[in-house]
Structure 1
Amino acid sequence: MPTTPRARARAQTMNDIVRIGREHLATGGAAALSLRAVARDLGVVSSAVYRYVSSRDELLTLLVVDGYNALGDEVDAALTEAPDDPIEQLRIVARTIRHWAHTEPARYGLLFGTPVPGYQAPADQTVAPGTRVITTLQTLFARAHQARLLEPPSPEPRVSPPLASSFARIRTEFGLELPDWLLARGITFWTSLFGAISADVFDMYGTDTFTDRNELFELQLDGLLDMLGYRPMP
């Protein structure tokens, strides 16, 4: 926490800039973000804002990090009330992401929608917050595997040496014991999960195609868990 009045004032101004940026993101989209407009709503001249945020791209980065952390916090909070069952926790994570996406469609779109033209997110600032939810999913895959809740394919697929090297690097980075087949299926799980959520949030289905999208999502989630290797007890 900032300890001096000047530091506290700076932190408050940064919070206000991010808050106003979120509001503009919701009303005009990422491509329309403008530091001048932020300064106007903040009640200062535009030159004053540049002392805190140097460019539109830096503002976008602040919003990206803010969005990833907001989603991560939402998932973490949901898991604190979850039963000690990695499969049920995977369901809760998936539902929480979908709920957050519907509640915050502009922020979800910034993170997982169409890239903003001309903007490249700096990896040194965005990778750690951006992988929070992915790390949670990978951890739950590993727990489900250790609990023998996931059935491996027979025969297990062969993985080429280059891809096996990539998988080994991921195992080391996350500190998890995941076989190659489960890493491959886990990647398919989370990419398919976000694809299903995006199709729903961005209305790719069409307005009147499905009567109950909640039921559809639960069926999709069942299918993803089946693909992962989960076989519920009869």
Structure 2
Amino acid sequence: MDDNAIPDAVIKEAARRLLPRLGAAGLSPDAVAGDGGFALADVEAAFPHRDDLLTALVIDAYDASGAAMEQADRAAADAGASAGARLLAATRALRQWSFAHPGEFTLIYGSPVPGYHAPQDTVLPASRTPAVLAGIVRSALEAGELTPPRRALPTTPLLLPAAVELFGGVPEAPFSDLIERGIVLWSNLIGLLVFQVFSRTHDSVKDEAAFFDCAVAVAAESIGLTVPLDADA
């Protein structure tokens, strides 16, 4: 290893600073070198192609946002919180991370980058967010904190084996469609964050943080989980 090589972390931090200005589509080793004051050869030694750099940033973003949720959920669980309160704590943590890192949020949840196809290396980091949600929902099921749904979803198999494995198996009736409902909860969460981070609700809602909590509570009702809106932040 070259003792004079620029650490990968330094290059990635320079690239992250460019994301809000250039967007992921405008990011390149050349742009990072020029903005960061690096020699292009040094950047390309670490990340030879744009896709190598994007993949590293995608993995870091998924890991950082997932870690924020995991830490918040662990703290709530250690404090004896209900599953609903844990859900609120974890989703609030993801929201806080998203607003603190809008460029990285856009990288993983915004429009696809033309010509970029995320490799298999990104799958495990990307699973951290749904894994937190699945863990909370599983805990709620085991603790008897869920209300059975008023209507069951179609019985036609809709799930890939990986989704069933992530949850730990298909629950018995009346919660046999709980994994499908959990995916709806997950998609509602990300859609809500997209609306808020990209300022789609600022002209409709006077308190976006409070609205976020309410929206999470409404979405949680679809899986039969009650979210206490008076829970501590």
Q: TM-score range by the shorter chain?
A: 0.7 to 0.9
**CA contact 2:83–2:139 (8 Å) conserved in 1:** yes
* Aligned mate of 1:126, from 84, 98, 122: 122
**Alpha-carbon displacement from aligned partner over 1:120-159 (angstroms, at most 9, x marks no partner):** 111x210000110111101111110111111122453332
Q: Is the 8 A contact 1:75 1:96 kept in 2?
A: yes
Q: Displacement of 1:229 after TM fit?
A: 0.7
Q: How far is the alpha carbon of 1:180 from its aligned partner?
A: 3.3
* Letter paired with 1:181: D
Q: 2:27 aligns with which of 1, 15, 33?
A: 33
Corresponding residue of 1:194: 190
Give the superposition deviation at 1:50.
1.6
Aligned position for 2:14: 20
Contact 1:171 1:177 in 2 (8 A): yes
Q: TM-score, normalised by structure 1?
A: 0.85
> Larger deviation: 211-220 or 168-177?
168-177
The answer for unaligned runs of 5 or more in structure 2 is: 229-233
Partner residue of 2:164 out of 163, 171, 174: 171
- Residue 3 of structure 1 corresponds to which residue in structure 2? none
In the alignment, residue 139 of structure 1 is paired with which amino acid?
Answer: G
2:147 to 146, 151, 170: 151
State whether residues 152 and 181 of structure 1, in contact with CA within 8 Å, keep that contact through their aligned partners in structure 2. Answer: no
Aligned residue for 2:222, secondary structure, equals: helix
Map residues 79-98 of structure 1 onto 2, 5 A cutoff: 79-82=73-76, 83-84=79-80, 85-98=82-95
Aligned residues: 222
Contact (CA 8 Å) 2:47, 2:53: kept in 1 or not? yes
Deviation at 1:45, TM superposition (A): 2.5
> Is contact 2:220–2:227 with CA below 8 Å preserved after alignment?
no
Amino acid in the other structure paired with 1:51: A
Question: Under a length normalisation based on structure 2, what TM-score does the superposition of the two structures give?
Answer: 0.86
CA distance in 1, matches of 2:160, 2:52: 32
**Deviation of 1:57 (Å):** 1.1
The 8 Å contact of residues 146 and 224 in structure 2, kept in 1 or not, is answered as yes
**Residue type at the aligned position of 1:170:** A
CA 40–158 in structure 1, closer or farther in 2 if over 3 Å, else same = closer
How many Å separate the matches in 2 of 1:194 and 1:130?
13
User: Structure 1 residues 155, 108: CA separation in 2 closer, same or farther (over 3 Å shift)?
Assistant: closer
**Amino acid in structure 1 at the alignment position of 2:163:** I
Q: Pick one of 212, 215, 218 that aligns with 2:210.
A: 215
In structure 2, how many angstroms separate the alpha carbons of the residues matched to 1:71 and 1:176? 26
Is 1:104–2:97 an aligned residue pair? no
Which letter maps to 2:65? L
Distance 1:87 1:28, change over 3 A: same
Give me the whole-angstrom Cα distance separating, in 1, the residues matched to 2:208 and 2:215: 10
Letter of the aligned partner of 1:196 in structure 2?
Answer: L
Structure having the higher helix fraction is: 1
Gaps of 5+ in 1: 1-5
In structure 1, C-alpha distance between the alignment counterparts of 2:193 and 2:123, rounded to whole Å? 21
> What is the rounded CA distance, in whole Å, between the counterparts of 2:220 and 2:70 in structure 1?
20
1:183 maps to a residue whose letter is: I
